[in-house]
Amino acid sequence: MGKWTRRAFIASGTLVGGGLLVGVGVGVAIRPGHRTPELAKIVESGDEVLVNAWVKILPDNSIKVIVPHSEMGQGVHTALPMMLADEMDADWSTVSMEQAPAHPEYATFHLARHVILPGKVPGIVEDTLTGVFLKASEIMSLQITGGSFSVRSTGQLGMRTAGAAAREMLINAAAEEWQVPASEIRAQNSYLHHDASKRSAPFANFAKLAASLKGPEQPTLKTPDQFKIMGQSVERLDIPPKVDGSAVFGTDIDLPGMKYAAVKAAPVFGSTVVSIDSAAAEKMKGVIKIVNLDTGVGVIADSYWQATKALQSVLVTYTESAANKLSTAGMFEQFGQDMDAAVANGKEQEDFVKGDARGTLAQSDNVVEAEYRVPFLAHATMEPMNCTAWVHDGQVELWAGLQNPLGTRDFIANKFGYETDKVTIHNVYLGGGFGRRTLPDYPQQGVQLANALPGVPVKMIWSREEDIQQDHYRQAVISRFKAGLDESGTPISWENQFIDKHDPVEAPYIPYAIDNQFIHYTSSPTHVPFGAWRSVDHSQHAFFTESFIDELAAVAGKDPYHYRRDLLAEEPRIRKVLDSAAKMAGWGKSMPAHWAQGIALQSSFNTIVAQVVDIDMSSGKPRVDKVFCAADAGFVISPDGFIAQMESGIVFGLTAALYGDITLKDGAIVESNFHNYKMVRMNNSPDIEVKIINSGEPMGGAGEPGTPPIAPAVTNAIFAATGKRIRELPTSKHDGSYSLS
């Protein structure tokens, strides 16, 4: 996801005038927990009744939950309805989900609120803060799915509140109609009961009256012991349509008269078109139009095959710059030089300072140093980027899987000169997101192509080659460490310098009790575009920090699990997760020759994850046999869904650890498809065991925290088996260099 920070929030206030933002009239009319006429006009259909912004009741007493987040396999279209339905005391078997429109009323302001002010605030200012964050989110066009925030922000702060509010509104409506005290009415399985008079009726009977009532400002929420749906594993709402084929992804869109487009952008980022020779392509059957996209070229044809074949015959020349000479080796050389210069010139950009790390290092007799590297990584989503755009009647409609549909709507309006109400976004299922689909580059291309053929829907699909070579990549990074150990091998100082800093800010920080720390970074820009990648900076820094702490344990001659455990004496919650993973794995158990275990942990997105890997090195290459994963996310809404996300994150991170490597030659991306950008496949995917720890602490995320610890757990296991320390990923770079005794 993009950078949504306190600084960004303050900046958004500045854009509209700080006093205006804070001084807006804040009341129930702009709170998505309540019903407004505008909302009803947008989402009501037929005899549906919008009780509040997130829930509709139908005449048959079924319930639709409106979800503002995108479904990309993470299960949010089930978890959020679970949270609302439980607080509403709804019958889960009657609950369905509806995707919220790309409209400011459905801006994900709870996410912004969670990031800026994660704690509780006095009730007297709750409503004002709600309005402030809603307005800021509308201004910034935030309808984000990312950062593992959906359940712990919109779910915790929005869905649960909306469900509880709807329940109280229905009870009040029944009390008014039955002329009994509201305190005597109870809700259960989508029915209201007044036991004293033996009256019962479905929610639907009171929906219209309830919708006309003012909702409670702070409805009473259930405590965990009262949950009936939350904490249970229920059938996911998105699975049946995915199994029977009725689920609609971007590539499934089929409109009357639709044409198809294939595109190819400049191989070197930042280059623009100088000339296009399309004479041969224009003569090919089915070709309708060749379009100059400024940074590339597109072909519109009667079929995608025809567009793709014609695109291959289009000759394009591009501008050149110094970027055309950059290679992977040259880039890492640049990183190293910039890091050296920053230290030599005293230009370190401070990230975290505690005590006097450098002073302590200077006095240490046992100093350990190491440098680690990770490459650029592509997202390689199952479904390549695509969108269908239709420019007609002075407006544009766009169909795509998007992680920020509202932001995309406003981007398209601003880019092409439309009023925002003339841009309609139809958000569909995402065939993988991982941060890639927060970006508007592919919708922009889609609208450029549709503008070239007004009145006709145009479906643009990227080839897999285009998808890998025109990505926005996880940053390549060098990270350097120095640590001083005392006589017992305990670290007393820790210095870490790395290249470039992104979100989350805490990614490089360590949980270990080291009194003197100096963490700093150096900017070293390249022409390669950055994009948020699953777990963002945590995926790199967990490899760095958990590898280095393992190195310190080895130098100290201590067991890496117990070494970590001793340094976590002041972090009992983290220590419990570490202990759980070690116990699950039978840490220290007898293993066959050339087998070993590795361990790592990382706290990310408010979830603590520790993993132990059983690795088999008998073939001379790493084969991960089993992964043991312990995770504390505070409270897990859907255990099956959470486990699936841990498994998914592990496989995603394992692919990066073993194979992921995006390289540069002459400024362009070398890798182009799965033959040279390999994936973990079913035949080499490990067995994975997950243990959930419900600690009762504030809720954490699930989609991303499983990814960061797997790479260091693997490389630490390789060291344990072979004595070879892996300081550069992927491990495939080192195949053939392991010594087996």
* pLDDT tens per residue, range 705-720: 999 999 999 999 999 9
What SS3 state is found at 542?
Answer: helix
Mean pLDDT of 410-424: 96
Q: How many Å apart are CA 360 and CA 353, to the nearest integer? A: 13
Q: How many Å apart are CA 106 and CA 93, to the nearest integer? A: 26
With a cut of 50, say whether residue 124 has pLDDT above it: no
Are 364 and 485 within 8 A, CB to CB? yes
Q: Which of 58, 113, 55 lies closest to 81 in space, CA to CA?
A: 55
Are 338 and 520 within 8 A, CB to CB? no
Give me the sheet containing 687-693, strands edge to edge: 595-604, 607-616, 623-632, 687-693
Vertex 35 angle, CA 34 and 41, to 5°: 150
What percentage of residues in the chain have a pLDDT greater than 70? 91
Mean pLDDT, the chain, integer: 92
The per-residue pLDDT for 465 is: 98
Are 479 and 322 within 8 A, CB to CB? no
What percentage of residues in the chain have a pLDDT greater than 90? 87
Q: How many Å apart are CA 98 and CA 106, to the nearest integer? A: 12
Q: How many Å apart are CA 715 and CA 721, to the nearest integer? A: 10
With a cut of 60, say whether residue 120 has pLDDT above it: no
With a cut of 50, say whether residue 123 has pLDDT above it: no
5 token code pair = 């920070």
With a cut of 50, say whether residue 129 has pLDDT above it: no
DSSP 173: H
Residues comprising the chain, all counted: 741
The per-residue pLDDT for 422 is: 97
Per-residue buried b or exposed e for 541-568, using 16+ beta carbons within 10 Å of the residue's own CB: bbbbbbbbbbbbbbebebbbbebbebbb
pLDDT greater at residue 741 or residue 253: 253
* Torsion sign over Cα 221, 227, 228, 233: positive
580 token code pair = 């759980």
Q: How many CB atoms are closer than 10 A to CB 373? A: 19
* Residue pLDDT, tens place only, 336-355: 999 999 999 999 999 999 99
CATH class of 549-734: alpha beta
What SS3 state is found at 565?
Answer: helix
The per-residue pLDDT for 15 is: 31
376 token code pair = 């650029």
With a cut of 90, say whether residue 397 has pLDDT above it: yes
255-320+384-468 and 549-734: identical CATH topology: yes
Judged by phi (left if over 0) then psi (alpha if -120 to 50, else beta), residue 52 lies in beta
Mean pLDDT of 277-301: 98
Q: How many Å apart are CA 222 and CA 217, to the nearest integer? A: 16
Cα-trace Rg, the chain: 27
With a cut of 70, say whether residue 61 has pLDDT above it: yes
255-320+384-468: CATH topology? Aldehyde Oxidoreductase; domain 4 (3.30.365)
CATH class of 6-243: alpha beta
Mean pLDDT of 610-620: 97
* Torsion sign over Cα 573, 576, 581, 582: positive
The per-residue pLDDT for 214 is: 87
* Residue pLDDT, tens place only, 442-494: 999 999 999 999 999 999 999 999 999 999 999 999 999 999 999 999 999 99
Which pairs from 125-128 meet CB under 8 Å and 24+ separation?
A: 126/217, 126/218, 127/26, 127/27, 127/31, 127/217, 128/26
Q: How many Å apart are CA 579 and CA 248, to the nearest integer? A: 43
Q: Do you find a cis peptide bond into 504, omega within 30 degrees of 0? A: yes
Mean pLDDT of 84-109: 94
Mean pLDDT of 69-89: 97
Q: How many Å apart are CA 500 and CA 474, to the nearest integer? A: 11
pLDDT band for position 37 (cuts 50, 70, 90)? confident
At 57, which helix (H) or strand (E)?
A: strand 55-57
What SS3 state is found at 278?
Answer: coil
Locus of tokens 């070494």: 563
pLDDT greater at residue 109 or residue 684: 684
Q: How many Å apart are CA 659 and CA 671, to the nearest integer? A: 12
Judged by phi (left if over 0) then psi (alpha if -120 to 50, else beta), residue 17 lies in left
User: How does DSSP assign 294-346, residue by residue?
Assistant: SSEEEEEESSHHHHHHHHTT-EEEE---GGGG--HHHHHHHHHHHHHHHHHTT
Domain ranges of the chain: 6-243, 255-320+384-468, 549-734
* The pTM of the whole model exceeds 0.85: yes
* Residue pLDDT, tens place only, 622-667: 999 999 999 999 999 999 999 999 999 999 999 999 999 999 999 9
With a cut of 90, say whether residue 127 has pLDDT above it: no
Secondary structure (H, E, C), 653-666: HHHHHHCCCECEEC
Q: 493 phi and psi, to 5 degrees?
A: -150, 150
Are 375 and 669 within 8 A, CB to CB? no
Q: Which of 656, 653, 675 lies closest to 375 in space, CA to CA?
A: 656
Q: Which of 582, 313, 298, 591 lies closest to 451 in space, CA to CA?
A: 298
Are 189 and 200 within 8 A, CB to CB? no
Q: How many Å apart are CA 253 and CA 259, to the nearest integer? A: 11
The per-residue pLDDT for 567 is: 98
The per-residue pLDDT for 141 is: 79
The per-residue pLDDT for 512 is: 98
Q: Which of 103, 114, 128, 100 lies closest to 28 in space, CA to CA?
A: 128
Q: Which residues lie below 8 Å from residue 61, measured CB to CB, with a gap of 6+?
A: 94, 190, 202, 203, 204
